[in-house]
Amino acid sequence: MADPITVAIERRIDPVRTAEATSWMQAGTDLAATFPGFLGSGWVRAGEDSERWYMLYRFRDISTLEAWEQSSPRRWWLDSGSAFAREERTERRTGIEGWFDAPLGELVQAQVATGSIATAPTAPPRWKQAVAIWLGFFPTNALGTWGLGLIPGFAELPLVARVAISTAIFTPLMVYLVLPWVTRLLRPWLHR
C-alpha cells in the first residue's frame, strides 16, 4: 500500500486583498475535496498582518495527488489567484512528523518558486533512529521504573496497571523532553 502524500505550500498574499484571498483559499480547499483520494486540507496565516499564508493538503497516494495537481480545475483555480497570491515554496512529504527533524518520513520533493528543487535533510536511517530512541528510552525507563517502585503498593498492582501508569508518564517525557534533547545531541551522527 502506498503512503499518503502531504503537500505544504507557502504563499505570499497581497495584504490589500486579504478578503479575496481568504475566499480563494477556501475555494481551493473545496475544489480539492471533490477529487478522488483527497484526505483533507487546511490553511493558516503566519499572523494577522503577515503576507505569508500556508496551505496543506493530503492525498491517498502519489497518483491521486498528481491527478489533482495536473487537473484543469486546479490550474483554473491557481490562475484565478495569480494577481494576489505568489507561491514561494512547496514541499511534498510521506510519513508522519517525528523526532528526527521535521518529518520522520521521506522528503519526496521540495521546490521553491523558481522551479528549482531545494535540498532538504531526509530522515536518518531507521537503525540510527532506533539507537537514538533506545539511548533516550533506556535511562528514562530505568530511572522511572526505579522511582515508581518507591511508591508504596505500586509493585503489587497488576502488570497491566503498572505498564499503563508508567507509559502514561514516560511517553510525554520521551516526546517532549528526552527525544528532542537526544536528537539535538546526536544530530551530527544521525545525519552523517
- For residue 179 the three cell numbers come to 527525544
Please state the separation of Cα 82 from the chain's center in Å: 27
Confidence label for 1 from pLDDT (cuts 50, 70 and 90): low
Residue range(s) occupied by CATH 3.30.70.100 in the chain: 5-112
Instruction: Classify residue 11 by burial, with Cβ atoms within 10 Å: 0-12, 13-18, 19+.
Output: buried
CATH class of the 5-112 domain in this structure: alpha beta
The β-bridge partners of 7 are 57, 92
Residue pointed to by grid coordinates 521535521: 102
pLDDT score at 112: 52
Kindly report, residue by residue over 146-184, the tens digit of the pLDDT.
999 999 999 999 999 999 999 899 988 887 788 888 888
Closest among 144, 97, 134, 104 to 122, alpha carbons compared: 104
pLDDT at 124: 77
Which pTM was predicted? 0.52
Q: Write the DSSP symbol of residue 177.
A: I
Tens-digit pLDDT profile for residues 68-89: 999 999 999 999 999 999 998 8
